[in-house]
Every structure is written in C-alpha cells, then in structure tokens.
Amino acid sequence: MASVSAKGKRKAVETIAEEPTGKKAKTGTQISDNELGSSRGPTPAALSSTEATTVVKPTEPPTSVDSSEASIGSDKKKGKRKATESPADDSEAKASVRKLAPPRPFPTVPTSVSATGPRSAHVEGKNYICITRKTPLGAYLRRCKDVVLKAGHKTLHLHAMGAAIPHLVQLSVSLPEILPYSADEIHTEVLTGTVELQDEVTPEDEDEDISCRSRGKSTLSITITIGDGKDEGAHTGKGKKKPRNQFSTNMGDRGTRQPRQGGGQKGGGKRHEAAEREMSEQIVFRAEDMDE
C-alpha cells in the first residue's frame, strides 16, 4: 500500500511540473523527487511549499518595463492627436497678418493749422490728447497742466484704446490734484465704446489675393471740464491775445483810411495825373457854330 500511495503522489507532482511554471516549479519537482527517494516519503511541509509556489506564480506584479511601455504608448497616442490637430493651425500660422493703423477719434492737427509746422506753433487743438503707453504719466501731467494754465483751455478731451485704458484712468484721477481749482469746479465725463480695426492678411501662396479681416477693440474717452468749460485764450506764447488800441499812431483814427502821400515807387503820381485829366471837361467847337 505504501508503494502505491508513493506512486500516486509522484504522478501528481509530475503533472504539476509539466505546467509552464518556470524555474520555481522545476525546483519544486527536484525537492519532491529527493524526498520521495527516502523511505519515509514526502513530508507535509514539502507538499505545502510546492502548492504555494504554484499558487503564487500567476499573481506576479508587472515589471517596470511594462509600465514604461504603457507610458510610451500613451505618449504616442497624444502625439497622434497633436498631429491631427496641427494642419488646421498651420494654415493660419503660414499667412502673415499685418495690423493696420487704427482710426483716430479726432485729427492730429486741426484743419486751420499747418501740419508741417512745429508743435509749439499750434494754438488750437492742444486740448485733444490721445493717450499711449509709450509716454510716461508725468509727461502727460505736465502737458495737461500747461494746456489749462498757459493755453487757457477749460476743457480737456482725453482718449485711449486697448491696453492704454488703465493709463488714461490713472491720468484722469491724478490730474485734479495738481490743478489750482477746487473739486467742485472740475467735472469728469467718461464714455466707453468699441472701434472696428482692420488687419491685412497675406497668404503664403502668391496666387491668392490679399484679404482683410476686422476685429473690435475697446475704447475709453474722458472729458474733463473746469467751471463753465469756456476757453479763456492763451496767456503766454504765440497765441496770447494782444490788447487793441483805440487809436493807431501810423494810420490815424481806427476805421478811417488816409490817402497816400507822394507818388511812391510804382508811379503813383502819374496815376493821379491821369485821373485828373479824365475828370476834366472836354469843350468841342463845331464848324456850324463858328459860321453863325
């Protein structure tokens, strides 16, 4: 009976060893063969160890190589998504876009003033200012102060667009503090709006025509009024008002024209003599009257 039971156990161990269990399964079969060669037969501890090896084998954790391959596969999928989305963006990136100059809310120089002359010679239009980020706040404060105190303007028109709007707001808040007027006399009016800008799109293909596209941009206009808002005129400089005299020393009374004395360089005496000849009467004697 002992030999029969040993043969049955050996067959059971051999069936387990035939499965693709790797190195651990083979070591288990070797141990069982040595133990079965003894007269006592395999111990329960050896059988339990072989069973444990066969159970633990299928539940091995994934190695680091598998995780890296999974990450590489996910990156490849992301790359494919980016590749599919890139052609739509390339068509817009290839075309060059040139932003055109925005329209001004008011002309740079008034129509009554020469545009080619120096800025100091301009009398009108100094109270219309476009705010940009390139000019610092202190320069705008000095300029507005000179416009009010020296040029005599009581109304300031300030305009900004886009990123220069915060610069304009800071200027409008700081300006009343440096002017010699009370807070009750200074009134501020704020207007917001949107201006339409044009962009010139040049395609990469030379056969295609140049197109234009429009976009909107926010604007801010602030009007600062001092008192009644009526301009007093320039106090200094070229635009200063000169008092008119009631009588002029050179031309006599105002409004009366004095006759020119002397012939002058262009023959004024000859013209005067010709006029006197035309005014003189001409006497004509007829032959019939003489016979009588």
What pLDDT sits at residue 148? Answer: 93
Q: What is the dihedral of CA 246, 249, 253, 254, to 10 degrees?
A: -50
The residue among 189, 211, 226 that closes a domain is 226
Q: Assess if residue 96 is contained within a domain.
A: no
- For the cut 80, the answer to whether the pLDDT of residue 225 exceeds it is yes
Q: What is the pLDDT of residues 18-40, one digit of tens each?
A: 555 444 444 444 444 444 444 45
Q: Assess if residue 285 is contained within a domain.
A: no
* Prediction pTM value: 0.49
Q: Assess if residue 50 is contained within a domain.
A: yes
What pLDDT sits at residue 228? Answer: 87
In whole angstroms, how far apart are CA 46 and each of 38, 64, 201, 255?
13, 33, 83, 140
CA gap 26, 33 in Å, rounded: 11
Q: Are residues 132 and 203 in the same domain?
A: yes
CATH of residue 187's domain is 3.30.110.20
User: For residue 129, how many other CB atoms are within 10 A of its CB?
Assistant: 20
- For the cut 90, the answer to whether the pLDDT of residue 195 exceeds it is yes
Question: How many domains does the chain contain in total?
Answer: 2
What pLDDT sits at residue 236? Answer: 53
Q: Assess if residue 250 is contained within a domain.
A: no
Residue that has been written with the tokens 């220069």 in this structure: 164
- For the cut 50, the answer to whether the pLDDT of residue 277 exceeds it is yes
Q: Which residues of the chain form beta strands (DSSP E)?
A: 96-99, 128-130, 155-161, 186-202, 211-226, 247-248, 252-253
Here the tokens at position 172 are 């409008």
Q: What share of the chain is helix, strand, coil (3-state, %, to 5)?
A: 45, 20, 40
Give the residue, 57 or 167, on which the prediction is more confident. 167
Domain carrying residue 23: 2-58
Q: Shortest CA distance to 35 belongs to which of 6, 59, 11?
A: 6
Q: Assess if residue 249 is contained within a domain.
A: no
What pairs with residue 156 in β-bridges?
A: 224
What pLDDT sits at residue 42? Answer: 55
What pairs with residue 214 in β-bridges?
A: 198
CA gap 115, 107 in Å, rounded: 10
Helix axes 2-18, 44-56, angle to 10 degrees: 20
Q: Assess if residue 291 is contained within a domain.
A: no
The residue among 58, 74, 92 that closes a domain is 58
Residue that has been written with the tokens 């800025």 in this structure: 119
The residue among 58, 82, 106 that closes a domain is 58
Q: What is the pLDDT of residues 94-128, one digit of tens each?
A: 788 999 989 888 887 777 777 777 776 777 788 99
CA gap 188, 181 in Å, rounded: 14
Q: What is the mean pLDDT of the chain?
A: 70
Q: Sign of dihedral through CA atoms 266, 267, 268, 274?
A: negative
